[in-house]
A and B are shown apart, each in its own frame.
Chain A
């Protein structure tokens, strides 16, 4: 069982579609993250929210738009994606945020497997 839940598990979308990925955690963690993972590669950081505020944006294209409605929820809105955006999108959370003096472990969700056609 994972403590970070992501929906949907799989998503196929066309380049003109608008869709959203959802992530939820109930561990009281203060930071939430979006990562992108291509096959046979390590996860790449996209965004970090700390205390519901966007604290890191790793120069991600504007066709990816994150949203943090509250401390337990994290969304990733997708619009006008390209086929090269097909990947596994992982949500993660940690007890402390990225600017804490203490590094706390990342807990990953099972991911959404996204295919852009």
Chain B
């Protein structure tokens, strides 16, 4: 079955710096890669997702890149702000198995003002 590894487990940056979180997956059939942000005591919220037919997707300060050959994808946050502090989860699933969305273990991002 699919296995998703996420690194680092914790990340601390200064406000204004960039943050990068990396994930690798094992199942070459995986074709959908969402990223969720979960603030303390709140629900996971989808912040960006990418499908296997594209290599990069951007939404304002957030971007995701996908390397299908190497089976890894990354989240990039530029110009970080204190409100970006949260736990970020990557995930992967293959066509027809949304119920089998496999999450990484999460990265706790702290942005220091």
Quick check: A100 and B89 within 8 Å, CB to CB? no
The interface size bin for chain A is: 20 to 34
How far apart are A43's CB and chain B's nearest CB, in angstroms?
6
A110 CA to B105 CA, complexed, in Å: 20
A44-71 at interface with B (beta carbon < 8 Å): 45, 48, 50, 55-56
Name the segment of A14-22, A74-82, A91-99 touching the other chain.
Answer: A91-99
B10-67 at interface with A (beta carbon < 8 Å): 31-32, 34, 36, 42-46, 49, 51
Quick check: B43 and A111 within 8 Å, CB to CB? yes
Given the complex, which residues of A lie within 8 Å of B113, measured CB to CB?
none
Q: Which of A98, A99, A105 contacts B49 (CB 8 A)?
A: A105
Q: Which of A50, A97, A103, A110 contacts B93 (CB 8 A)?
A: A103
Quick check: B43 and A2 within 8 Å, CB to CB? yes
A96 CA to B93 CA, complexed, in Å: 14
Contact with B along A1-27 (1 / 0, CB 8 A): 010000000000000000000000000
Quick check: A42 and B105 within 8 Å, CB to CB? yes
B73 at the interface (CB under 8 A from A): no
Residues of A within 8 A of B (CB): 2, 31, 33, 40-43, 45, 48, 50, 55-56, 90, 94, 96-111
Closest 5 CB pairs of A and B: A98-B99, A42-B103, A103-B32, A48-B99, A108-B43
Residues of B within 8 A of A (CB): 31-32, 34, 36, 42-46, 49, 51, 87, 89, 93, 95-101, 103-106
| Extra inter-chain contacts (14) besides given A103-B51, A103-B98, CB under 8 Å | A40-B87, A41-B105, A41-B106, A42-B89, A42-B103, A42-B104, A45-B99, A45-B101, A48-B99, A56-B100, A100-B96, A101-B95, A106-B34, A106-B98
